[in-house]
Amino acid sequence: MSQPRKPNPARRSERSRQAVLDAARDLVSELGYAKVSIEAIAARAGVGKQTIYRWWPSKGAVIFDSFLALSESEEGMSLPDTGDLEADLKIVMRATVAEFADPAFEAPIRALNTEIIGDPALAAQYREKLAGPVDEAKKERLRSAQRAGQLAADADLDLVLEVLYAPLYQRWLHRSGPLTPQYADALVEITLRAFAP
């Protein structure tokens, strides 16, 4: 006689949590942040509203976690290091520009950025959990270039990353110019010239 299978609350709970995160991300991409409600996330995930409020205090918090879940799968990220800084950065920047030019990718990132601007606590969380680790991986590559004499040894690496990425970020946010591979290359060339040894 087979044992009746016992429900496993921990596993069911993790499945619900994952469904909520997937639903939050999908809905933000489809509708934009402003039109997404906790009710809609609950309905899409097939859970009750109270299930969401048990784990997250607000819509912003669920959506932030849904992005965090994405980047956690990239754990241990690192940049290519072929020894040629310019070539390596151009690969990375062309990929970044392509992502920001892709409507499916950029919609949720735009929603997150809108939240961050108005919410200093969320901005701090974003820096600590998302931007910080990614920036650290980039700096690791820049330090390797400094050791190889391809970048000024005294360069402020936070400033290097700002000069490399902020123009793209602003152009994307304001839709003020084309996001092309040529633009990615130009940013790399300008940055390396600015911080040449």
Q: Which residues bind a second copy (CB under 8 A)?
A: 32-34, 110, 113-114, 116-118, 120, 123-124, 126-127, 131, 156, 158-159, 162-163, 165-167, 169-171, 173-177, 186, 190-191, 193-196
Nearest approach, Cβ of residue 145 and a second copy (Å): 17
Nearest approach, Cβ of residue 173 and a second copy (Å): 6
Q: Which is nearer to a second copy, 10 or 153 (CB)?
A: 153
Nearest approach, Cβ of residue 15 and a second copy (Å): 33
SS (H, E, C) the chain: CCCCCCCCHHHHHHHHHHHHHHHHHHHHHHHCHHHCCHHHHHHHHCCCHHHHHHHCCCHHHHHHHHHHHHHHCCCCCCCCCCCCHHHHHHHHHHHHHHHHHCHHHHHHHHHHHHHHHHCHHHHHHHHHHHHHHHHHHHHHHHHHHHHCCCCCCCCCHHHHHHHHHHHHHHHHHCCCCCCCHHHHHHHHHHHHHHCCC
Q: Which is nearer to a second copy, 41 or 116 (CB)?
A: 116
Q: Which is nearer to a second copy, 133 or 167 (CB)?
A: 167
Nearest approach, Cβ of residue 178 and a second copy (Å): 11
Nearest approach, Cβ of residue 114 and a second copy (Å): 5
10 Å CB burial of residue 181 (0-12, 13-18, 19+) is: middle
Q: Which is nearer to a second copy, 80 or 132 (CB)?
A: 132
Q: Which is nearer to a second copy, 6 or 193 (CB)?
A: 193
